[in-house]
Every structure is written in C-alpha cells, then in structure tokens.
Amino acid sequence: MNHQHEQELLNSWQERQEYAELMQPLLGKLYREKAVEVTLYGRPLLGANSIDIIKAHRMVRLHTGNKLRLRESWPLLEAMSGMKLAPAQVDLGKLAYNYHFGDKAQGRDIQGYLRDELADIVDRDDTHEPQDVVLYGFGRIGRLLARLLIERHGRNNKLRLRAIVVRGGKEGDLEKRASLLRRDSVHGPFNGSITVDAERNALKANGAYIQVIYANSPAEVDYTKYGINNAIVVDNTGMWRDRDGLGMHLQSKGAAKVLLTAPGKGDIKNIVYGVNNHDIDPADAILSAASCTTNAITPVLKALDEHYGILNGHVETVHSYTNDQNLIDNFHKAERRGRAAPLNMVITETGAAKAVAKAYPKLAGKLTGNAIRVPTPNVSLVILNLNLGKETSREEINEFLRKTSLFSDLQHQIDYTASTEIVSTDLVGSRFASVVDSQATIVAGDRATLYVWYDNEFGYSCQVMRVVQDMAGQKVPTLPASKVIR
C-alpha cells in the first residue's frame, strides 16, 4: 500500500469520526427535548459513541448493497433537530437511504422530504402525561429495567422510575443495591453516576431520584408517602403470578396497575409486544409480559405462520443457567436442577411452546417444547423445527426474515444476522426479542429448522419496557412507516 492510499484511508476515517461526533449531541438533544429516539436500520443511536455510530452506518451495506455515508445522513439529522416533532422512533438510516438512493425524494429538498416522511409527528404537540413507575424487586431483570428507565431520564422523559421495593433493610443494604446497579458481570458498568442518599433511603442516578422502600409484602407499602401516584408497579420477583396474588399490589396506596415479568396464570393476559399488544386495554390493571423465551420465539413464529403456515413443530431451548439453579450440587425440588449449573448441561422443562398460544392462539396445540440449561450466564438459543404449509428454500426463508426484521411491524422484535462467526457473547446487550441466525437455517421442502438467539435478560427487559410504555398510554409511531411483507 503506497503512502497516498494510506493517507486517503486516514482522511476517510477522520471524516467519519468528525461527522459521528457532530451527530452525538443532536441525537441526545432530539431525545431530551422532543422525545424522538433515533435509530439506524434498527440499531439504537441514543447514547451511542462515535465508533458505534460509524459501525451502524457500515451495517447498512449488508442490508442494501450500497454504502450510506455519514455525510449523507448528517444533513437529515441536522434538519430534524430544528423541526417541531412529537415523540417517535425515527430510523435515520432508512430516511437517508431513501432520500439519496430511492425514488421518494424526486428532487425535493431535505426539509420538504422530511415533512412528508414524518408528517405524523411534524408540528404536533407531545400529549403524553408523565407516568410514575415502581420496580417491585431488584434482581437481574429489575436492575436492567432500572438501567433502561434511567438512561432515558431527562426533561421530556415520561416514564419516571420513582421507587424500588425490596426486602431487607439491614445495615449496608442500600450500598450493596447501588453497587449491583453500578457493576454487572454480564452487562458491564452502568452508564452514568450513582450516589447513595443513606439518610433518605434513596439512590440518585443520572439526575433521577429513586426511593428505596423496604417491605415484605405489598400490603406494607404506601407509595403516596413518597409523592408517588397512579404508579405502574413492575413485579419482577415472580412470587405472585395469579390475579389474587398480583392484586395485592393494587391495595397499595398510589398503585394503579401491575405488570408481571413472568408468565401469568389464569385469565391474565400474557403480552408479547409486537404480537398481541393490541390486546392491551386501558382498563387492564394486571398484565403479564410472558417469559423471555416466549418473547423470543412468538414474533418469529407469527411471521412464519402468516407467510408460510405452520402445521406443527418442536421448540428446543438452549438456555443459560439462572438463579433458580444451584452453583454446586444440592437439593432442589425440581428434577435435575439441583446439579451444579456451571458444570452441567441440564435437561429441563419449558412452558414456552404452550405459552405461545396465549399470545398467538393460531398455534394452539401445534408445538411441543423442551429445554436444556447450559453453563453460560446469559444469551440463549432456541431451535425451531417446523413443518410448514408449503415448500420453500433456505434462501427464500432467510430473505423473508431479513425483510421482516427491517420493514415489518415486528422490526423491533426480530433482528437478523448473516455472520458466519457469531457466538452467544456477541449478543449480550441486544435490544431485540430475538436474532435470526441465517447461516444456520436448514430447509428441506416443507420442513425448516431455524436457530434464533436471544439475550434472555436485556432483550426481554426491552420487551417489558415496551409493554410498560403501552400501559402508560405512551405508544409512539415508528417512522418511516413499515412496508407490508408478503
């Protein structure tokens, strides 16, 4: 490589870095001041560093065959920052790509193009009211929900984490809770600052004041004492899963609704966002966000069933070990789960296959399921063995799922990878309910085997947040509007 070529490469890299650094404050400003969250072909840019922004732009070529340069998307972001916009999720990558390479621009200036593409939110007021949120429990899911709520904290944030309820209260408890929020062996350090207010039993994180309430049951809690009213209580303890048990939360003063982060029993609606969120009624006081595995498989199964038809199939979950298992061999009420989780693959049961029917009734009775717990702390894999209603090919089904992940109503739930080298740790922190591993797809006539990854902690927590947002009446459009996948 000659010196001139080396210099050109360096200049190109510096140009991308400069544009990425210009973008960062505008991305933050759009969210803080307008509640507009910017993505790039589904990749979230809120809080992204310059390298993340550059990498997101590089990914566009894998989906479109053409490069999208930062200097091409920058003018659209700059124009958006000066517009009056209502809350929304806006895909800058799709807007910029269509403007530069599609037929929608038709010679129009950027302002005119954006006003047309963003017509649903241009010159509209933000009608959302602030919503108090309480986390009842502070385990793996509770702490990740706290991170997701805190990262959005700002003047325009409408979901406000006001309190955390935990058992305990012994000396040093508050500091330990703060430490577990600051540091995570799987998900890394908290992105921000956390201080402990020991006098008031509270945590301060990125400008948010979070009351820590010690209680052994919902009956002991009066949220109004802390200025909390009409709160959505997210129960992530799993202690109560039926209507009677979860209904105890509604007896607490200041609580209005309850969301369970586990499969609900009886007539409780199990919501898999993107699949049956239309079943959420404003009058619903108790809902379930189903399980991580149900959230991972149901969107993919729904898409395939609507396009190909699913006659029947088997779901095998390869799941990371959880706190329910033992570190070393010890007594456990369930079969096999008492054996050391870090040392063994453990065959166990899963209700995810049957639970799919609660969110997507068309598959009732069509699926069987089982699970294998494996010695990894996070990120799981589900293998879908399906008999379809018509013959297809590996190329066709992969292309269908790729387009579904980009342009359908399930674009926030389904991600897609064509990498031949991806492994489980690469998916830690994925905000999607599932990631289709296209290189592992097997098709023979009307039989298909699909491998679907999911971050069973963080990806699931993102799905829970979508349900919370809906329960709070804060649904926002995704723009540009999705195409219908056929």
Active site amino acids: 292
Q: How many CB atoms lie within 10 A of CB 7?
A: 10
| Contacts with 399 (C-beta within 8 Å, 6 or more apart), sequence order | none
| Contacts with 346 (C-beta within 8 Å, 6 or more apart), sequence order | 321, 325, 336, 337, 339, 372, 373, 374
Helix (H, G, I), strand (E, B) or coil at 383: strand
The string of DSSP letters for 418-484 reads: --SS--GGGGTT--SSEEEEGGG-EEETTEEEEEEEE-TTHHHHHHHHHHHHHHTT----EESPPPP
Strands 231-235 and 36-40: unpaired
Helix (H, G, I), strand (E, B) or coil at 165: strand
The string of DSSP letters for 216-248 reads: SSGGG-BGGGGT--SEEEEE-S-S--SHHHHHG
Spatial contact of 115 and 87, defined as CB atoms under 8 Å apart: no
Identify the burial level of 154 via C-beta atoms within 10 angstroms of its C-beta, where 0-12 means exposed, 13-18 middle and 19 or more buried. middle
Phi-psi region of 473 (alpha: psi -120 to 50; beta: other; left: phi over 0): left
Helical H segments across 82-139, by residue range: 92-101, 110-117
Distance CA 108, CA 119 (A): 15
Tokens of 412: 């926030």
Distance CA 360, CA 270 (A): 10
Give the max Cα distance, the chain. Answer: 74
Helix (H, G, I), strand (E, B) or coil at 205: strand
Q: How big is the chain, counted in residues?
A: 486
Beta bridge partners of 185: none
Distance CA 460, CA 462 (A): 5
Buried b (16+ CB within 10 A) or exposed e, 199-216: eeebbebeebebbbbbbe
The string of DSSP letters for 98-111 reads: HHHHSSSSTT--HH
Q: Which residue has the tokens 């012994």?
A: 170
Tokens of 465: 């947040």
